[in-house]
Structure 1
Amino acid sequence: MSTVPFRRQERVNLSTAEVLIVGGDADGLEILAQMFAGFGVHTPRRCAAGAEAMTVVGERDLNLVVVDSQLADTDGYDFISWLRRCGSPNAWAPAILVTGHTTSSQIFRGRDAGASFVVRKPVLPLVMMQRIIWLLSDPRAFVTSPGYCGPDRRVRSIGPPVGMKGRRHDDLSVEVGEAKTPNLEQDEIDALFQPKAISR
């Protein structure tokens, strides 16, 4: 996959980014394309069907894939699952799933398909840009296993990227602060693992 053409700064330069937008609804596809043009993406590639998008995945190096949950010939969940296991370097590209149904089951389905984020329609440009900026600093490892392929689903345990505000009130930063108490000595650590008899 090509080198990511932008870095997380105050301004994000998407002018050389290769973005694939896949959507079954012509109006929705046009709205997303115009949104990314507004972000500075010169030529976002548009596809209405999953089969057409699969061809693009095999031909171009992509920096971002945005997929609607409803496509002309399949659904976005199946397309992302295919993308993650397709064998192309694009399998590791960040993938944002756009859907009008944001029930917990649909969000979990998108996450389990391998989506980096699930975004609710109608998509606000500010929300989309926040997700893109987040993905630039995404510290999650890519997981490949028989049951799942995609970014590590355990977002909660690592918190938001440094400098970003989390969505939950109890999100922790990935930065580790200075120790508040002295380190334990080795004999104190050993004592923690030795069972002791309790006398009554």
Structure 2
Amino acid sequence: MADRNPMADLKAIEIMLIDDNRQMRAITAAILQAAGCRMIREMGDGAAALQSLHQKRVDLAIVDFNMFPLDGVAFTRLVRNSADSVDPFLPIIMMTGHSAKHRVMEARDAGVTEFVTKPFTPKALLDRIHAVIQNPRPFVRTEGYFGPDRRRRPLPGYAGPLRRASDRESVVYLPE
């Protein structure tokens, strides 16, 4: 829908904001509130966030990369792969001040849906949120990965479910 107001989407969703830095949570929450989000659950670390998810689900998680005792990558892996995960399809946006390629790849390989680097602009954060709301990616399960399809663009000449010779059978799931 071209004339649909993306800000209206934020009024209806609950976001879990997970960052051990209180000031960063306050800044991010202010951006979300200014954009229309009314339901924000703030958590100081990944372990508390996981426990909270078992009590009440959310529609989206925004998680910091570097936290203690459970960082954003470990949080993401547990949400995606733990036998007692309440929502393995939960959209997860990773935010970090460390944008080295190996960090981005580690987050991607854990199953993060989107990635934003601190300091970020309100537009950059809202663009990532709108991407997961308006264009959810299908989920893929392979022998070593479960999460959003990491292929962001079609490859010319690609005609099957396997992308590499080393790929085994893969199953594609759509988010619930």
Using the size of structure 2 for normalisation, the TM-score is 0.79
**Corresponding position: 1:39 with 2:35:** yes
Q: Bigger radius of gyration, 1 or 2?
A: 1
Equivalent residues in 2 for 1:57-136, closer than 5 Å: 57-86=53-82, 87-136=84-133
Equivalent residues in 2 for 1:128-147, closer than 5 Å: 128-147=125-144
Letter in 1 for 2:128: R
CA distance in 2, matches of 1:132, 1:16: 13
C-alpha offsets along residues 92-141 of structure 1, whole Å, 9 cap, x if unaligned?
11100001111111111110010011100012110111112222232521
Give % identity.
29
What are structure 2's unaligned runs of at least 5 residues? 156-176
Matched pairs, number: 152
Letter in 2 for 1:138: N
Letter in 2 for 1:134: A
Match of 2:5 among 10, 24, 27: 10
Letter in 1 for 2:147: G
Higher RCO, Cα 8 Å, sep 6+: 2
Match of 1:56 among 52, 55, 64: 52
What are structure 1's unaligned runs of at least 5 residues? 1-6, 159-200
C-alpha offsets along residues 26-47 of structure 1, whole Å, 9 cap, x if unaligned?
1111111111111212130011
Letter in 2 for 1:148: Y
CA contact (8 A) 1:48 1:72 kept: no
CA contact (8 A) 1:8 1:137 kept: no
Moved segments of 4+, more than 3 Å = 86-89
Structure number with higher strand proportion: 2
Match of 1:67, SS state, is: strand
Aligned-CA RMSD value: 2.0
1:144 CA displacement: 2.4
Match of 2:93, SS state, is: strand
Match of 1:44, SS state, is: strand
Letter in 2 for 1:9: R
Letter in 2 for 1:117: E
Equivalent residues in 2 for 1:145-164, closer than 5 Å: 145-157=142-154
